[in-house]
Structure 1
Amino acid sequence: MRLTRAQQQERTRGAVLTAARVEFARHGYADAKIDRIAEQAELTRGAVYSNFPSKRALYLEVLTDLVGGPGEVARSTPPPTEAIGNFARVWLERLPLAGDSRADGHLQLRSLNGVLDDERARTALAQVTELEALMLALALESRVPRRCVRLAGLVLTMLNGSARLADAAPGFGDPFDVTRACEHLAALDLADSWQPAHLPYVEAAQPCDEAFEPPAAVFDEISGRAVGLGADGVIAVLGSERLSATEEVVRAAGPGDEVTVVAVTGDPAETGRLVRLRVRDLTGCLRRVFAPDAWPRFRLILGEDVGVGADATDATETAVRLHRGRIVARAHGRGAGHAAAKVSS
């Protein structure tokens, strides 16, 4: 049977990813060669680059492919201390086994050591890590009546540090000790408060009355399923340099608001793949520990045009307020999500 163009492209992409995974597992990121990947996939070098514009883009896609799809979902949420311990156990499953090669261990760890060697990529990683901390914190806050962002950040610091040490010194450290240490972090008083100094000075959203034509469905990374847009609430479009502003939107939104955050970038090939990798890794762990009623109460869409007229750049910060299927307010610049969420619907 003759394949359609789309089927042929998907087959080519699959062959490249399979060959690349073997190459990265044998040689590591630094020593991997696109020519060997092309030869293994029985393709030309140009065919590889037509699907993945750089070795880094290909490596990030291989790691995302290893993370997989939405996966299993917890049926109930344990108490906070136990939840932190369970989250740590799930996260630490990536630690390589004693017999794994160093290069294969890099893949198992989703290691980015030596991969993000420029300012743009490091900035994106810092911002998406803040987003990860917020998502873990919001899950904990469903059971704890206080802000948990600093606690979540400390847990992720310990887990990422353990992974980095496992990458540099395989076999050192006990993951069970790390898990117990993460559990003890829940008892720390971190004096966590939410008082961003700039928010009182954010310019108010501008009223408007515009038609809104959302896409039929978009993929929500938190729930792992397709969702529709258009209910009363806020849509904030944030570039990879402004992902930390997600908390401003979430904290300002009203109890009945549907909050949607759309993460965009001017570099979908690399920065976009980096954000997708980290988000899918984190949400996969969250869903295995926290039941749906504890998941962060917002939708997270990656790289989609949702019809609000926002640019896709790393510095984008644009938000709209929706009411009865129409855009009733717009805000741009720093604090835009907060300003749109503060508009009364």
Structure 2
Amino acid sequence: MARLTRAEQQERTRAAVLVAARHEFAEHGYADAKVDRIAERADLTRGAVYSNFTGKRALYLAVLADAAEQARDSARAPERSPGSVAAALGAFARVWLERLPLVDDTPGKGHLRLRSLTGVLDTAPARTALAELVRFEALLLALALEPRRAPRARTVRLAGLAQTLLHGAAHLAENAPGVGDPFDLARAAEHLADITLTESTEPAHLPFIDPARPAADRWTPPRGLHDEITGRPVDLGDDGLVVVLGAGRLSAAQEAVRSARPGDPVTFVLVTDDPAETGRLTRLRIADLVGCLRRVFAAEDLPWPRVVVDDGAQVPAALGLPTADDRTETAICIRAGLIVARASGRGSGHAVANHDDQPHPTPSP
């Protein structure tokens, strides 16, 4: 029998730890789970667990992310999308509400079904990242509600209201399983489409953003990236806009989408300096949302921007950025394989989207 390579052994160990952790969290809940018991369940040492995961919180997030990614990958798209925004919100709510705990679930098992984060995110950066992720999720849902175009600000707010309804129902069900009728909640989500919401004005800072810097730079984008929405490989050498956002700046995606020219591809690259926890939180939330979207919307109506989770900061490194953290916000415009514009700081996606993208005649080496 051939010996396992180091990478294969590490992957086997990681898989065993995740299985053991899933049972531990289901039985004892997050607060009372013990890393020592997880190691014992996996027939491993405590050190073997910590060689793959930085701590209990990272392990819990990994268990949830793994479940969300499995659900996403098994999702099957319908032949056609719901015919109206109201119908789409109702269908999305019905799919999302399937996770509500059952009456006979243990508290720990119910929390896993919900992919609950209650009591888990106890640091300011993690809570900020979650708030920004929720706003980013609202944008993605709005893009599915209004496919193949930049969604109206009202639609983004409407998607946010739907999220508030669903997460509020989940929080109640977490503490009182069986409370709240899923069919009533789905009908309530449908009726949100009729709520009167005014169109929001553009962010006040947009007129004061510095223009993008012209460039003619060659670059070698990293390989092996994939789009979280479709699962397809991503080539960042293609024409379009690439917007790199830290976990604390994801709300800037909306202004980049609204500023992009019709037909101009947009890729969001999500980065963090904490891949063990914030990176896994990002993967969890994006995979969870996309799994629902794939079951409700036809493939051609899924959100059109590409979303890349780059928790290894490969793209910032390829762009020559010295660091990438949760406050990163930078963007480039690519034409004919060249970077023709760069911008960094607040509003960078808006800046490159409005750049006159004619490349310089002589590429930089």
TM bin, normalised by shorter chain, reads over 0.9
1:194 offset after TM fit, Å?
A: 4.6
Candidates 299, 305, 318, aligned match of 2:314: 305
Question: Does 2:304 align with 1:261?
Answer: no
- Structure 2, unaligned stretches of length 5 or more? 358-365
Aligned to 2:328: 316
In structure 2, C-alpha distance between the alignment counterparts of 1:137 and 1:276, rounded to whole Å:
20
How big is each residue's C-alpha offset from its partner over 1:77-97, in whole Å with a ceiling of 9 and x where there is no partner? 112211110000000010111
Among 78, 85, 105, the residue aligned to 2:82: 78
Contact 1:203 / 1:339 at 8 angstroms: preserved in 2?
Answer: yes
Letter in structure 2 aligned against 1:52: F
What SS class does the counterpart of residue 268 from structure 2 fall into? strand
Q: What does residue range 137-156 of structure 1 map to in structure 2 within 5 Å?
A: 137-142=142-147, 146-147=152-153, 148-156=155-163
Shift of 1:221: 0.6
Identify the residue that residue 41 of structure 1 maps to in structure 2. Answer: 42
Counterpart CA distance in 2 for 1:320 and 1:146 is: 24
Stretches of structure 1 that go unaligned for 5 or more consecutive residues are none
1:133 Cα deviation from its structure 2 partner: 0.3
Provide the residue aligned with 1:26 in structure 2.
27
- 2:81 is aligned with what amino acid? T
Q: Give the conservation status (yes or no) of the 8 Å contact 1:320–1:340.
A: yes
- Corresponding residue of 1:94: 99
- Equivalent AA in structure 1 for residue 46 of structure 2: R
Distance, in Å, in 1 between the alignment partners of 2:260 and 2:226 is: 21
Do residues 271 (structure 1) and 278 (structure 2) align?
Answer: yes
Q: Tell me, yes or no, if the aligned pair for 1:308 and 1:320 is still in contact at 8 Å.
A: no
Shifted more, 297-306 versus 98-107: the winner is 297-306
Range with greater deviation from structure 2 (303-312 or 103-112): 303-312
Do the aligned partners of 2:147 and 2:304 also contact (CA within 8 Å) in 1? no
Mapping of residues 162-173 of structure 1, within 5 Å: 162-173=169-180
User: Cα deviation per residue 1:226-258 (whole Å; 9 max; x = unaligned)?
Assistant: 222222211111001100001111111112311
Evaluate the alpha carbon distance shift between residue 273 and residue 51 of structure 1 in structure 2; reply closer, same or farther with a 3 A threshold. same
CA contact (8 A) 2:148 2:303 kept: no
Distance in 2 of aligned mates of 1:143 and 1:265: 29
- Amino acid in the other structure paired with 1:109: L
Contact 1:217 1:229 in 2 (8 A): no
Residue in 1 that maps onto 2:249: 242
What is the aligned length? 345
Distance 2:320 2:79 in 1: 39
Are the aligned partners of 1:77 and 1:83 in contact in 2 as well (CA < 8 Å)? yes
- What is the DSSP-based 3-state SS (H/G/I as helix, E as strand, rest coil) of the residue aligned with 2:119? coil
Q: What is the TM-score normalised by the length of structure 2?
A: 0.92
Q: Is the 8 A contact 1:233 1:341 kept in 2?
A: no
**Root mean square deviation of aligned Cα:** 1.4
